[in-house]
Structure 1
Amino acid sequence: MAQIELTCGDILALRADALVCPAHKHLIRGRGLSAQVYDRGGAALAAACEQQPECAVGEARLTRAYSLPVKYLLHTVTPQWSSGDQWGAQALVELRRCYESVLSLALQNRLKTLLFPALGAGTNRFPHEIAAHQALEVLLEHVGEFDKLTVCLHTPTALAEWRRVGKRFFGG
């Protein structure tokens, strides 16, 4: 049975069938990891993204990865964290939907190894504890459908937080 691997480092140096990329609704160059992906993917990726329909928050789109060390990119538009105010519950539902949409699209395209960043926890400001809980809950529901699911965190502090959440809530 597949496991969820939590690691820390440069996600763009890892290999898998697909990399999950936080996206802008028009699949244009965004900030953070999105900017790095688009810079590496170049004009070919930008042209492929222009052919995709608009992507609402929580949805996912698939493109080739071009010059990246993965075959495909699974683009998903993550919600903005609003500091837990009255819209916080909606943001949690939308973040879960990002993971569910990505996993569904991956299965439809027979992708068996996926690389995830901490969706929502970068420029969209979800606290890692909250992002980790939502992600791990969804990923654990589907882990048996894949060969390998890897969550690559940007810092050792984030990795420690995700591991703490995994152990506390999911016994991992």
Structure 2
Amino acid sequence: MRLLKADITKLEVDAIVNAANGALSGGGGVDGAIHRAAGPELLAECRTLGRCPPGEVRVTQGYRLPARLVFHAVGPVWRGGEAGETDQLAACYRHCMELAREHGVRSIAFPAISCGIYGFPAEKAAPIALGIVAEMLPESGVEDAIFVMFDPGIERAYERAFVNTQPNG
């Protein structure tokens, strides 16, 4: 596992994870960037999948992206922490790792799901994300799990949590 400050749409990995909305329709932030970079074929495929509830993930082709696949993970909107947000966020990462195994993904890049406009506090999200991926990594077949940061505050939260997920952390 590693942290990287980069543009997720330019990474040459088997799969990238999209912090998607429930309609899988593109939008702002990383979702909009992925849809723009992949081209209109991505939205056309997403439209065939219907809605996706929080905590679940849908898979599409990568189209014009360097990544072969896009895992559209719908994270929870933060409502104070008492509405199942933690479980829904954990389910996103768990499902991504299960799908990685099913699709033979060796390299995967994750954004900070729900930490942008959905308002999930990064200091709460980072240990969940890193912990689940670290736990599932040995059985997944994934050799390179990358957490892509875009915001300095989120990056610091992930750096702190990353130290604590290491064997000597």
CA–CA distance in structure 2, aligned partners of residues 126 and 110 of structure 1: 30
- Give the equivalent residue in structure 2 for 1:117: 111
Correspondence for 2:124 among 130, 140, 152: 130
CA–CA distance in structure 2, aligned partners of residues 79 and 158 of structure 1: 17
Correspondence for 2:77 among 72, 75, 80: 80
**Residue 35 of structure 1 aligns to which amino acid in structure 2?**
G
Gaps spanning 5+ residues in structure 2: where? none
Distance 1:158 1:24, change over 3 A: closer
Correspondence for 1:154 among 142, 150, 164: 150
- Give the equivalent residue in structure 2 for 1:18: 15
Alignment of 1:60-75 (within 5 A): 60-75=57-72
What is the TM-score with the length of structure 1 in the denominator?
0.90
**Residue 97 of structure 2 aligns to which amino acid in structure 1?**
L
- Give the equivalent residue in structure 2 for 1:163: 159
Asked if 1 retains the 8 angstrom alpha-carbon contact of 2:115 and 2:154, the reply is no
Q: CA RMSD in A?
A: 1.5
Alignment length, in residue pairs? 166
Deviation for aligned residue 1:9: 2.1
**Residue 155 of structure 1 aligns to which amino acid in structure 2?**
D
Kindly indicate whether structure 1 or structure 2 has the higher relative contact order, using CA contacts under 8 Å at least 6 residues apart. 1
Residues 35-76 of structure 1: per-residue CA shift (max 9 Å, x gap): 111112222111111111321111111111111111110001
Name the % identity: 29
What is the TM-score with the length of structure 2 in the denominator?
0.91
After TM superposition, the structure 1 stretch with the greater mean CA deviation from structure 2, 149-158 or 14-23, is 149-158
CA–CA distance in structure 2, aligned partners of residues 169 and 111 of structure 1: 22
Deviation for aligned residue 1:82: 1.4
